[in-house]
Amino acid sequence: MKSIFSKVGGLLLPVVLALAAASPAQASNLGCGGGKLVLSVSYHVINDVDTGVRGNNWAFDTYDRSVRVWRKGRGRFCSASTYGGEFTTIAGPSPGGKTTLPAGVRGTFTGSSVTTFRGTFAAQGAPVRGFLGSKDFACTSADQKGQCSGTWDWLRTYFTGISRFTYVRYAFSYHAMENGKGTWSDALVRGKIRVSGDIRPSKK
């Protein structure tokens, strides 16, 4: 996914990486643990961009995202997101930076992320449960992730006074299905970013 920003969330600030491990009891909410569920929504995204290890935009993404947020205490929150969709490559460096891709390699991806932050929950009439519809991020290959003209930021839609935004963990896996081959994985595990594999053209 994956520059270390509030990526699909939209905060245009570097985020702190937190050291944490989920217990089996936490698996159902990706490790957020106990607390009051204040937000449980999902939405469909089209025309988002994806970044690789070189910081380049390597693909356009279409995906479904779910977002759940628990209040852990006064002003403290944990969010858990899941992602599932498809990618289409942009001509240029591959996500793993090991080769050059043509435009038009297609595939699928899945992922999850957990973040913690401080702020004030302020939905201001926005739905806090259910499907929110489709969001066209309207990205071009030249746009910076999170700064596309149509980027929708769930965090700033539902919260004010946001601070201490931290990625606890994330994991994404991409698999080429058409005009290419390979699997690329990108994860934050126990405070360390781990990448493996790559997406390659069919002929390499």
What's the mean pLDDT in 54-75?
Answer: 96
pLDDT band per the 50, 70, 90 thresholds, residue 52: very high
d(CA 7, CA 46): 15
User: What does residue 95 show for φ and ψ, rounded to 5 degrees?
Assistant: -60, -35
Residue 204 pLDDT level (bands cut at 50, 70, 90): low
Q: Containing H/E element for 165?
A: strand 159-178
| pLDDT, tens digit (0-9, with 9 covering 90-100), for 121-157 | 999 999 999 999 999 999 999 998 889 999 999 999 9
